[in-house]
């Protein structure tokens, strides 16, 4: 088999699994669903996984996108993705979580925040609910400041700055996360209302501004320890998180 024939076979397989979502600046290419069995609290749960790429230029066809992949240096930038559970498009109610990437919390299990705990909790709640989606937002590290800046912010926090003050001292606004891409992907996967799992009113506002139909909010409890109590308190006092659950999570 020649290279050319191999490529055309790959393209014919992939073209049904790529969806183009037009955006104001270009297009989002959404690839999936891909069956993803996940180990969750000792059980194996199967999600449907999708990944997306936001491009400024719209390719004339999927073949062009596939041809460009090897030159795009994608490993140098993080891509976002979404884990979908159940009959997401059609279920009467679906539970949504917009999870901001946290290298230290999600991967290392850092106790300075409770992201890793919340990630697993939100996956579990989606499964219990029967239908939902967990959006894993790769450009949201450290509330949008990036991992390297977050390391510097942590050093400031070890020297009496709170989370908000540390970000501001480094020249960042407190929270620079953007949900536009994720909401466009959500709309491509489901048009019915959703319940958003969050304690953060900014997320509710961002979803509503983007025209998302919200049927409600579900609280997400955090994992409080001596290492993150100041961080969680700052979120309530400084970042406007809803404190009505007494203990707030860090979304
Ligand atoms: Zn975290």
Taking the CA atoms of the chain, what radius of gyration do you get in angstroms?
Answer: 19
In the annotation, is 93 catalytic? no
Measured in Å, residue 191 CA sits from the centre of ligand 1 at 30
The residue from 97, 112, 143, 177 that is catalytic is 177
Measured in Å, residue 75 CA sits from the centre of ligand 1 at 22
Question: Domain for residue 184, yes or no?
Answer: yes
Measured in Å, residue 114 CA sits from the centre of ligand 1 at 6
Question: Domain for residue 13, yes or no?
Answer: yes
Question: Domain for residue 195, yes or no?
Answer: yes
Residues whose CB is less than 8 angstroms from the CB of residue 113 and which lie 6 or more positions away in sequence, other chains included:
102, 104, 105, 228, 231, 250
Question: Domain for residue 156, yes or no?
Answer: no
Protein residues near ligand 1, an ion, with CB under 5 A? 102, 105, 113, 115
Distance of alpha carbon 37 from alpha carbon 122, whole angstroms: 16
pLDDT score of 235: 66
Residue 58 lies in domain:
8-140+177-239
Measured in Å, residue 202 CA sits from the centre of ligand 1 at 18
Report how many domains make up the chain.
1
In the annotation, is 175 catalytic? yes
pLDDT score of 116: 93
Q: Are 26 and 54 in contact (CB under 8 A)?
A: yes
Q: Which pTM does this prediction carry?
A: 0.86
The residue from 93, 174, 175, 217 that is catalytic is 175
Distance of alpha carbon 138 from alpha carbon 81, whole angstroms: 8
Measured in Å, residue 61 CA sits from the centre of ligand 1 at 38
**CATH number of the domain within which 84 lies:** 3.40.50.10990
pLDDT tens, per residue, the chain with 251 residues? 556 666 788 888 888 899 999 998 899 999 999 999 999 999 999 999 999 999 888 877 778 888 888 888 888 888 999 999 999 999 999 999 999 999 999 999 999 988 999 999 999 999 999 999 999 999 888 888 899 999 999 999 999 998 889 989 999 987 778 888 999 999 999 999 999 998 877 778 878 887 788 888 888 876 666 666 666 667 666 666 654 333 333 45
Question: Domain for residue 165, yes or no?
Answer: no
Compute φ and ψ for 211, nearest 5 degrees: 85, 15
Question: Domain for residue 18, yes or no?
Answer: yes
Question: Domain for residue 2, yes or no?
Answer: no
Question: Domain for residue 167, yes or no?
Answer: no
Distance of alpha carbon 21 from alpha carbon 136, whole angstroms: 18
Measured in Å, residue 207 CA sits from the centre of ligand 1 at 22
Measured in Å, residue 23 CA sits from the centre of ligand 1 at 29
Q: Are 81 and 50 in contact (CB under 8 A)?
A: yes
Instruction: State the DSSP string of 6-54.
Output: HHHHHHHHHGGGEEEEE-SSSEEEEEEEEEEEEEETTEEEEEEEEEEEE
């Amino acid at each position: 088999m020649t290279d050319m024939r191999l490529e055309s076979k790959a393209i014919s397989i992939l073209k049904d699994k790529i969806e183009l979502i037009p955006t104001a600046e270009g297009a989002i290419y959404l690839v999936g669903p891909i069956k993803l069995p996940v180990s969750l609290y000792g059980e194996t749960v199967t999600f449907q996984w999708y990944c997306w790429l936001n491009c400024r230029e719209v390719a004339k066809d999927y073949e062009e996108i596939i041809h460009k992949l090897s030159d795009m240096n994608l490993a140098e930038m993080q891509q976002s993705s979404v884990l979908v559970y159940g009959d997401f498009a059609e279920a009467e109610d679906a539970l949504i979580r917009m999870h901001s990437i946290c290298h230290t919390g999600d991967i290392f299990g850092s106790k300075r925040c409770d992201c890793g705990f919340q990630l697993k909790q939100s996956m579990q709640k989606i499964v219990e609910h029967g239908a939902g989606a967990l959006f894993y937002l790769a450009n949201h590290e450290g509330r949008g400041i990036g991992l390297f800046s977050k390391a510097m912010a942590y050093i400031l926090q070890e020297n009496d700055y709170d989370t908000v003050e540390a970000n501001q001292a480094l020249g960042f606004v407190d929270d620079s996360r953007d949900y536009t891409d994720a909401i466009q992907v959500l709309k491509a996967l489901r048009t019915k209302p959703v319940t958003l799992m969050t304690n953060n009113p900014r997320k509710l506002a961002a979803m509503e501004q983007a025209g998302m139909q919200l049927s409600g909010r579900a609280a997400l409890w955090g994992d409080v320890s001596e290492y993150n109590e100041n961080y969680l308190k700052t979120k309530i006092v400084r970042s406007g998180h809803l404190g009505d659950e007494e203990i707030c999570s860090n979304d």
